[in-house]
Amino acid sequence: GDSVTQMEGPVTLSEEAFLTINCTYTATGYPSLFWYVQYPGEGLQLLLKATKADDKGSNKGFEATYRKETTSFHLEKGSVQVSDSAVYFCAPGQGGSEKLVFGKGTKLTVNP
Amino acid sequence: GAGVSQSPRYKVAKRGQDVALRCDPISGHVSLFWYQQALGQGPEFLTYFQNEAQLDKSGLPSDRFFAERPEGSVSTLKIQRTQQEDSAVYLCASSLGTRKLFFGSGTQLSVL
**Confidence at residue A64, expressed as pLDDT on a 0 to 100 scale:** 95
A43-74 pLDDT tens trace: 899 999 998 889 999 999 999 999 988 999 99
Find the distance separating the first CA and the last CA of chain A, reported in whole Å: 41
DSSP reduced 3-state for A2: coil
Mean pLDDT of A22-26: 92
Mean pLDDT of B65-74: 96
Going by C-beta distance under 8 Å and a sequence separation of 6 or more, which residues neighbour residue B40? A104, A105
The rounded distance, in Å, linking the Cα atoms of A34 and A46 is: 7
**Confidence at residue B50, expressed as pLDDT on a 0 to 100 scale:** 94
> Chain B window 70-109: which residues touch A at a Cβ cutoff of 8 Å?
91, 93, 95, 97, 99-106
Mean pLDDT of B32-54: 94
**Count of residues in chain A:** 112
**Confidence at residue B1, expressed as pLDDT on a 0 to 100 scale:** 54
Mean pLDDT of B19-35: 96
- With an 8 Å Cβ cutoff, is A69 touching chain B? no
- Is 90 exceeded by the pLDDT of residue B95? yes
Mean pLDDT of B20-45: 94
For residue B81, count other CB atoms closer than 10 A to its CB.
Answer: 12
Going by C-beta distance under 8 Å and a sequence separation of 6 or more, which residues neighbour residue A3? A25, A26, A101
Proportion of chain A in helix, strand, coil states, percent, rounded to 5: 5, 50, 50
A38-42, A95-99, A101-105: lowest mean pLDDT where? A95-99
- How confident is residue A24, by pLDDT bands cut at 50, 70 and 90? very high
Mean pLDDT of B48-74: 95
Q: Which of B58, B101, B108 to mutate to test the interface with A (most CBs of A within 10 A)?
A: B101
**Confidence at residue A1, expressed as pLDDT on a 0 to 100 scale:** 66
Instruction: Please give, rounded to a whole number of angstroms, the shortest distance from the CA of A111 to a CA of chain B.
Output: 21
Which residue on chain B is closest to A49 by alpha carbon? B100
A33-38, strands of its sheet edge to edge: A11-14, A106-111, A86-92, A33-38, A45-50
Average pLDDT score over chain B: 94
Question: B25 and B34 in contact (C-beta within 8 Å)?
Answer: no
- Of A50, A28, A35, A25, the closest CA to residue A95 belongs to A28
Rounded to the nearest 5 degrees, what angle is found at the Cα of A72, between the Cα atoms of A67 and A76? 95
AA identity, residue B27: S
Question: A34 and A93 in contact (C-beta within 8 Å)?
Answer: yes
**Confidence at residue A95, expressed as pLDDT on a 0 to 100 scale:** 65
**Three state DSSP letters for chain B:** CCCCEEECCEEEECCCCCEEEEEECCCCCCEEEEEEECCCCCCEEEEEEECCEEEECCCCCCCCEEEECCCCCCEEEEECCCCHHHCEEEEEEEECCCCCCEECCCEEEEEC
